[in-house]
Structures are given as structure tokens and as C-alpha cells.
Structure 1
């Protein structure tokens, strides 16, 4: 198949979160299966890859607010995989992808309308007529509309459209004034299944309504977003289209995240020889300024945000730390959570180590050196750290939501520890179950082994996308 993949960020060129990781890895896995894949993304100021070359083609788009254009650049990743970058000085030559220190950019609706429609025009310019157009999150939602309306009498109209929701909470809502600004027909706003959303324009809804299939990044999250609790006011629409909503679990980069070859660790280890994990634990305690010992180590590497349940963790840790254990945290985010972790460290200086800010090497060391990895999320569309933890023989303690349920198996013969209620008592009970597991070395080793034997590679996920794409093409 020919697959046109559109995303607002693509690792390693640009990234703010999981979307960038998926947009970097999934197209590569699909290309490895023999499909021709072109990824289209903006060329932000930070994209300075020496492999960038001009394609010899440019965009010229007419909007009511004016004409916008720019060259199309390319990086050839593999024989069947090419990343196309849309260059536009006014829209993308800035510090930040979605915003800066002052907040989100006020013209994001224009910037990502340019990406959405420009990606389709770029495919035309390069004579790449896709079987599948794969959209990702609200920034690409208008491409679904354009495919059916603006490109309906072109060869591109034969393509089937798939929209992947990476996090339903981010929808791209704007005043209805943008209808005229972007030249969108008003029937799209007034029709029942259009892009209107509580008297605003909703870019994500546009993508959902004008796609042939909707995917999310885990099977459980696909069910959760059809409920009022996690549906973010789109649950009614998604429930009406539930036959088209499919949950496909994200994969992980099994080359970067492999304890047997990880060059960021002081010692390597595998499921057949776990000796190196103890050396990683010693180095982790040393790096975090904590005394060595045989006490269990709990760790987190996280964006410090409301979604991640950091407040619940801060509620529980003062009680949990009355036991003989260590806690290490690496991350950054909302100021009150950063302050809470620093206060905890000041209160328990021999048990708590905190690193505010992202540190790639230290994040690998936490995954390898900790005994347990804690993720008390309010909701978690997929989650990656629990999969890294399982691969590194570090037992996850997670809330039973989204992709955490789909990857972590509880029970006596599981690979991790699950808790249901978002409540301090539930998390504290889960931590105590972890301490009991740690006190039983034989059972702990079995948990670790079962986790390390799971296959979370992108090859598995890509096969599921491939199957979905083939079924759409047959239709």
C-alpha cells in the first residue's frame, strides 16, 4: 500500500510527547513490512538535520486570510520511507511547536490548517497517490474534511482516511469566526455531523467525522473514550461510531530500550542473567545521593501533571516512607508538583531523591535500577514507561486505566501490580503489595521474568494497523 502519514511532530526531528514517538516509529515499522510511506510534518526552527534536501516542489495555498506557501523538503529514512517537511517562515520558524513561554500561539488554527491541506497538496505535487491517509490528533483534523471536499474530484479522493486519537483531551477548539477565516463551508458547521462543537469549531471532531476509521493507542482507552467520564464531551459521537473505533496498542523502540545492550547503563543484563540489575540499582542510589542498602526502590520518570496522578503520589508517600524503602523521581511540569517533590526530599533526605528536569541517561537508569515503577495516572491513553519497566525487569505499580490495563497483568501470576480506585488508600495498598512481593525473592524473580518476556515491539502494532488498512481498502 501507499500510506500518507500526517503528524504535527515526528521524532527525532520534533517531539513534545508520545505523538512524536509514534510518528517516528510506526511509519518505519509499516515501511519495513513493504509499504511505501511518506510522512508529512512542519519544518520547525529546531529541525536542522543535515540530510534535509529540497524536493524541487513547493506549496501554494489560498485562504481567505491570504496566500501561504513554501518549499517541500525531504529526508529519506529508508528505501520505502520518506519524511516530507513543509517549510513556511511565518508559521513554523519559531521557538516552540505549539506555543512559547507566553502560551499557545494565537494562529495555531492557521498553522495546522496549512499542515493539513498542505500535506495533501504535497502528495499531489510529488505524484504520490495514497491508498491510506493517516491523520494524528487535532492538528491534522482538517485534512479529513479537505480530502472529501477540496480534493473530491482528484485521484486522492480514492484514499481511505484513518484518524488516530493520541489524547482525546486535546481537541483544537476555536471560535466559529475561523470558519470564514479558513474558507470552510458553513454547512460543515450547521449540519448534525459536522465540525461544530458547543458553538465552536473543533478540529479533532472534524477528523473524527470525516474519517473512515478511528483508532486510539490502546484497546481499553478505545472503550473509555466512549464513556462520559473520559469522553471529553465527544463520547456521544464516538459511541454512535463505535463500530469504527479500534484500539491498537502503541509499541516501543526495542533497540533503544533493551537492558542487554543499553549503553547508558553501568552494567547490562537480560532475562537469562539479571546480575547487572543490582549494579544499576547501586549506581541509581549513588546518582540520587541516597545511601546504599537492600531496601526496595520505587521510581517515577514523568511529566509532572494532573493527568499523571502526581497529587495522589504526594498524598501517599509520607505514609509509605515510614517503611524501609527509597523513592526516586525524574521529571518536570507543573510548579506545585515540583515544589511538592522537593519538600518531600527535604523531609526524607535519606530516602527520597529528586531530579527536576528531563535527563535521558538518568531516565534509563531509573528504569533499570528501580525495583518498582509507579504510575498512578487519572487516565493514560497508552503509556510507555510501564512497557519500558517490564522490559527492564522493574515491576510496575499502576492504576487500572487505559493502556496500563492492556500491558500490566495483576494477580499472583502477573507481571505487575494494579489498583482500581483513584484514592490514597488504593495506591498505598498497592505499594504495600509491592513491598510484600520484594520480601519474596523467588516470586519477585518470576514477576520480572514474565515482564521481560513480553513483546512490545512496533512490529506487532504495525501488523494490526496493516490489517486495518487492508480491510478499509477492500471496502
Structure 2
């Protein structure tokens, strides 16, 4: 049994802005199921959903701040969660990265450097918790100072740093480094210094014993200038210590047991999927047309997700006998253009701006085809959810999308491994060609049903991924 401290800025259902929260809940629970002693450490934001039985464990003084460590458990699990409680930094409305008005926190460096310092105290058993981890598993830039600070400690735990998205690096000017009163030894190109600035992400990559990312293909991609965001040289230098482990999917995303959907089903009862399709059409005021394919999309509406490519394709897509449903939010100009299309095609298109957990499940269960034209995607979860629900994904062949979706080609259809449609170029024409290929297959029911069955039989559970992490821990 390993003692593991899991360091994250968000964890579902306590607080969630994206996929990191799902991983930070599901992976610790999967490791606990494998018999590991794992604890999560996370800031106690005002927006955190309060849980029962929160206990005060201790108070530490760091940089003239009194910081409380509170203890609770991850809901519906035995995983202990330590909440870093410092109201002057975390006690304001908003989410981990933005205030209530959507602006990035002006003091993000102060917030997360304090979080990292407290984490180091916990990791070195100086926080009166009587528990010292053997492994400290850090996630994304918000925890990047932890491996760097631990390099200065004697008899420290081993460190792993997982990159969930290279696009977010936590870069701040040298003046911020000085203001944070960080150790001078860390201001060098082998630690936090990054072209005259400070990079939290670089600290995690340069100073950890092992670096992982969330898919094997993304681990290769980030060693290139296209995906490395200026750190490809460092990642290439550390490639012997870099690996990609696919994320798994949460147990809640399974049509056999999903309490959110109208009718549960499996690959053996695929005809029940039609009940969910009809319910989705009715809920979104679309014509009840069982034979017309529904395209679904659940996403942040930003360029990374290829929303601009989709907008270029929409006029031709909506000229076909299809329906299109979308759930998401993001770029305001994208939102407005989508609204305009929905007003022009009310019988074919429905958009919901924001996020609705139940509607997300309905879209996965009721759609026939799922669109995910991301320019890059470190891992992605919706393409895996979609396959589980027999909703065949159309994805760009990148990152985790390339690792999890098998393109429907003559030989993969014949050998029953095909589970979706992939395309290579990040262009509207390539996306449109993939959409047309999907529609051709949709019109051949025996092939389409086989593809759905192939997809639904794939194992995307956390069990396999958790065992890979455990093997990495054992190696360390």
C-alpha cells in the first residue's frame, strides 16, 4: 500500500470547471479501490460544495498568513480530502481561476503559491497531521511549485507531475517571483526561470521525478513546437521520464446504470436508445423524427475545440436532413453566431448556453453522432462517453482522440474494431467530409448497429489507467 498525496486545484463534485475535476475525483477513488492510502489536497474556495463532517485539523502560519487545514471526504468514497482554508485568498465568489465577473484572478500567483507551500508542509509531515506520503502526485500549473520546492528538502517524497493541458502554464513576471519570496535557488533555467519570467508549469516539468500526460499521443505531440508552447525542448530533454496514460471515464457515464436518462440500455438493448432520442427531441422542441440523425456537441466554445470549423460547416450541414443539438459556453462571438443559426433553423437546431449535467447525459444518450473537431485534445472524455452510449464520435486525429477512436474504414469495419470517424486536417472541408462519411454509414443500419456495438463494448474504465499509475508509483 502506497501513501499518495494528490494535489489538484479542482475535484468533482466539490468544485469543477473542466476535465481536471473529473480526473481528480475518479483517479483517487480508483486508486483507493486498489488498496492505496490516497489523500486529496485542494484550496477551500468559497464556491466549494460543502460536505458533511468537516473537521479542523490544524493551523499553520505561512508568509504572515494563518492557514487552516480542514478535513472531509470525497462524497460517496473513503478518500480523505484536505481543504486549505485561507479566506483572504480563497474566500471570494468565483471559480478557482476567475472571479464572479469572469476575470482572471489578479492574485493567482499568490493564491497558488500559498497552496503549494502548504502542500509541501503536508508532504514533509510538518503540518501536525501525522502522515507523510511516499508519492506526491501534482496536476497542472497550479501545483507546479510543489515539485520545485520539494527539491530543496532532505528525505522528500517522490514526485509525479501530470500535464492536463500545455496551453495553461502559469507564467508571471520576475517581479512576482520576488514578491512571492520564493527561494533564490529556484530562479534558474533548470527550475522556475522561463525567458526572464517565472513559469509554474515549467517548475513541475523540470523538477518532478516523473512527468505524465493524459494520453500516449499527446505525450509525443507536446515534444513538438506545434503543441509544446515553448517547452518542447525541455519535454524532449526529459522524454525518458515522460509518459502518457489515458484518463478513464467515471462510472456515472454508463447507459446501463445512468439515473439521469429516460431509458437505460446496453449494447444488447440498443433499441431503447430510441426512447432517449425521442425524449431529447421533445425536451429541445425539435420534430420527433426517429430516422433523422441527431448530431450532438458538448464543449467549451473556443477555437481549441474547433468551434470555428463547425460554424463554417453549419450552412451545409443544416441543408441536409439532420438535427443538431449543442450544450456549452465560451467565446461570445461564437455563442452569438450559433444563436443566429438556431433562429434561422428552429426545426433543425437547438443550443443551450451554459452547462447542465442532466442535459449532457441526455445528449449523449439521445444523439446518434457526437462532434468533437478539436484542434488539439490532451485526452478528452466526451469521445469516450459517446462510445459508451453508442453515439458514434467524429473527431480530429489528435491527442487522446487519436488513441481512443478507431476510424470506420473497410478493414476496421470488417474486423469489428471501428468505433467512430476520424479526420486529419484542422479545416472545415476535412470536418465536412467526415460528417458526410458518417451520414453514409448511418444509412446502412446493419453497419451502423455494428459500429455502435463495437464502441459500447470498449473498456474506458479507470481500472486500467489506475493500474498504470500504480505501476509508475511502484517504479519510483
Q: Residues 394, 79 of structure 1: CA spacing in aligned structure 2 closer, same or farther, 3 A cutoff?
A: closer
Name the structure 1 match of 2:350. 353
Q: Residues 170, 52 of structure 1: CA spacing in aligned structure 2 closer, same or farther, 3 A cutoff?
A: farther
**8 A Cα contact 2:373 2:431, kept in partner:** yes
Q: How does 1:29-178 map to 2 (within 5 A)?
A: 29-62=30-63, 67-77=64-74, 81-96=79-94, 97-100=96-99, 101=101, 103-123=103-123, 124=125, 125=127, 126-149=129-152, 152-153=153-154, 155=155, 157=156, 159-178=157-176
Encode CA deviations 1:200-221: one digit per residue, 9 max, x unaligned.
1001101111100000011111
Encode CA deviations 1:86-116: one digit per residue, 9 max, x unaligned.
1001011011221211511111111111111
Structure 1 residue corresponding to 2:448, chosen from 439, 444, 449: 444
Residue 461 of structure 1 pairs with residue 458 of structure 2: no
> Which runs of 5 or more residues in structure 1 are unaligned?
none
**Structure 1 position 52, deviation (Å):** 4.0
Work out the CA distance in 2 between the residues paired with 1:267 and 1:79: 27
**8 A Cα contact 1:174 1:202, kept in partner:** yes
Name the structure 2 match of 1:220. 217
**Structure 1 position 48, deviation (Å):** 4.6
What TM-score does the superposition give when structure 2 sets the normalisation length?
0.94
Name the structure 2 match of 1:195. 192
Work out the CA distance in 2 between the residues paired with 1:401 and 1:359: 27
Work out the CA distance in 2 between the residues paired with 1:79 and 1:406: 30
Work out the CA distance in 1 between the residues paired with 2:194 and 2:114: 22
**8 A Cα contact 2:377 2:400, kept in partner:** yes
**Structure 1 position 183, deviation (Å):** 2.0
**8 A Cα contact 1:34 1:80, kept in partner:** no
Structure 1 residue corresponding to 2:280, chosen from 280, 284, 287: 284
Work out the CA distance in 2 between the residues paired with 1:398 and 1:147: 40
SS for the counterpart of 2:165 is: coil
Name the structure 1 match of 2:261. 265
**Structure 1 position 5, deviation (Å):** 0.8
Residue 211 of structure 1 pairs with residue 208 of structure 2: yes
**Structure 1 position 178, deviation (Å):** 2.1
SS for the counterpart of 1:128 is: coil
Work out the CA distance in 2 between the residues paired with 1:53 and 1:364: 31
What TM-score does the superposition give when structure 1 sets the normalisation length?
0.94
Name the structure 2 match of 1:326. 323
User: Which of 341-350 and 159-168 deviates more?
Assistant: 341-350
SS for the counterpart of 1:99 is: coil
SS for the counterpart of 1:274 is: helix
Work out the CA distance in 1 between the residues paired with 2:458 and 2:86: 43
> Which runs of 5 or more residues in structure 2 are unaligned?
none
Q: Residues 427, 60 of structure 1: CA spacing in aligned structure 2 closer, same or farther, 3 A cutoff?
A: same
Structure 1 residue corresponding to 2:435, chosen from 431, 456, 463: 431
Calculate the aligned-residue CA RMSD, in Å.
1.4
Work out the CA distance in 2 between the residues paired with 1:48 and 1:299: 29
**Structure 1 position 262, deviation (Å):** 1.6
